[in-house]
Structure 1
Amino acid sequence: MEKFADIFQFTHFRKYLAEYQSARVQVEPAFSRTEICARLGLPKTRSYFADVLRGKKVSPRMIQKFIELLELDRKEARYFEAMVQLDQAKSDAIRKDAMENLLKINPHPQMLLHSDSYEYYAQWYHSALFAILDVMNVGDDLSPIAKRIFPKVTLGKLSESVQLLSRLGLVRKNDEGFWKPTQDSISSGPYNNQELVREYQLQCFELSKQALLSHNKNPQVMSTLVFSLSKSAYKKLEAELQNFKSKAREIIAGDSEKADGVYHMNIHLFSNLDAEDK
């Protein structure tokens, strides 16, 4: 049986469906989007498959129909179900379980992400602790950090986080017995995964919400701007945001004074209008 697209190369089921259909129609010209609707048992609609690619929710019954249409074996079927669950998850817990299922089922999980990288990006406080250790002098007793970190993180979780950072080679003890970063910054690396980064960003957005609602005296700058703009001007604005991020990195890297604070910056730019159907 010919495999028109390797399902284990994907974490987004809609991208997989699009690639599969595009590849198969080259071999079977009749395998059009309209024909797919008919084979799914929907002869009265010609748009269902296209609607799914655009974001339409897929019911459990239709998941099984897709599995039959795609001629997936048992392992591939489980992987497809996990991809759909990941896409349609209504809670962070369900989304996390789905991502873990993908890693377990995939025969080559390193193609998606390194397991330690997944653990690192799964919780926001791992990256926060990495930066905090540059500011505070602590050894195995992390209670000083537990008292100051915002939002609060238990001492047990902080201890687990230090062990993870140590295992990844991101921190080590210096001659004075203090945990310190081994590098200035962290990259997501060659196993960067879009879904993984999205989960991390969702946690970061929640931190912004908590910071906004808090009444502490910690430094914060919160600003919102809603505007209308042409496509050409939008591209210029997007480029300027990238320039700003580069400049921010330069400032951070060029800071010759000892760091005495840890800050979190999120940049959000998104549309309030869906694209017009062509």
Structure 2
Amino acid sequence: MSRLKNKNVLNFRLFIYIKNVEKLTDIFQYTHFRKYLAEYQGARALVEPSFSRTEICARLGLPKTRSYFADVLRGKKVSPRMVQKFIEVLELNRKEAKYFESMVKLDQAKSDAVRKDAMEELLKINPHPQMLLNSDAYEYYAKWYHSALFAILDVMDVSDDLSSVAKRIFPKVTIGKLNESIALLSRLGLIRKNDDGFWKPTKDSISSGPYNNDELIREYQLQCFELSKEALLTPSKNPHVMNTLVFSLSKNAYKKLEAELQAFKAKAHQIVAEDQEKADGVYHMNIHLFSNLDAEAKP
């Protein structure tokens, strides 16, 4: 009886081990390779205690370097040779390996074009891309002018002739791209023609909502930051406010400031939602708060 009980315990432990391995090897749940590495190592160490960060360094061919894996998790660049070493240590199959390479490419991209290509590779490789984001949502946030046109249609009466929009939109967008944007917005059900034949929004506003994928939104925000730069450099009679403030602050005061910014963002949404007058302008607001000092290294 005792032998049978021990056998059942072993079988149960084996079942748990297999389930944990299956879970930790599901690389397609991730878009950040550093987060994947950290969670993979932690999960595997639970079922294989010897799989420590030091052991990973040894398996990577770096027995004299105990901190390399931790350095990678903190942001250290990974060379192509080490990418292949990681693939071996993680025991990834061909498809998983390609996905891992694309995640590294996405993280270490030095240009928007390379970053965009890497994100598209992830979507193409992932067997369940909806886990990352809805493809229509990706298309919507991939270009800044989709959201701008959505707002513009609330201000201007626009039919299928988009020449009036092309003349006024800032920065300039070709009529061809605006036509593609109209088609996308219509397909997504975000706009439709009213009784007068003008395209109008079907919603008051749009948020990233369930499509709030970090990489997707970051790509969109990068485009928005470039718009701010262009607005700053372009002489214009249009209303604009450009302020910059640099300051030192305690952690507690920072938390208060961050909370105030979140409250202001909510208030801004409220002002927009409660505006009962006919809109006569389209405005773009970016809020940036970041540190000029890296966090102190832990001893």
- Normalised by the length of structure 2, the TM-score is 0.92
Preserved CA contact (<8 Å) 1:5 1:19: no
Aligned to 1:111: 131
3-state DSSP of counterpart to 1:190: helix
Q: Of residues 127, 132, 148 in structure 1, which corresponds to 2:147? A: 127
Q: Name the residue aligned to 2:74.
A: 54
Aligned to 1:149: 169
- Give how far 1:189 is off: 2.6
Residue matched to 1:86 = 106
Give the alignment partner of residue 208 of structure 1, picking from 204, 210, 228: 228
Q: Are the equivalent residues in 2 in contact too, given 1:212–1:222 (CA < 8 A)?
A: yes
Identity of matched residues, %: 82
Tell me how far 1:57 sits from its aligned partner.
Answer: 0.6
Q: Which has the higher helix share?
A: 2
Q: Aligned to 1:62, what secondary structure does the other structure show?
A: helix
What are structure 1's unaligned runs of at least 5 residues? none
Tell me how far 1:218 sits from its aligned partner: 1.0
The answer to whether the 8 A contact 1:146-1:155 is kept is yes
Alignment correspondent of 1:259: 279
Please say which structure displays the higher CA radius of gyration: 2
Distance, in Å, in 2 between the alignment partners of 1:273 and 1:188 is 30
CA distance in 1, matches of 2:118, 2:153: 32
Q: Distance in 2 between matches of 1:221 and 1:189?
A: 28
Q: CA RMSD of the aligned region, Å?
A: 0.8
Q: Is the 8 A contact 1:138 1:178 kept in 2?
A: yes
Runs of 4+ in 1 over 2 A off after TM superposition: 1-5
The residue number in structure 2 matching 1:9 is 29
Q: TM-score, normalised by structure 1?
A: 0.99
Which amino acid is 2:206 matched to?
A: I
Which residue matches 2:217?
Answer: 197
Measured against aligned partners, the alpha-carbon deviations of 1:3-38 in whole angstroms (never above 9, x if no partner) come to 324100000000000000000111111111111111
1:254 maps to a residue whose letter is E
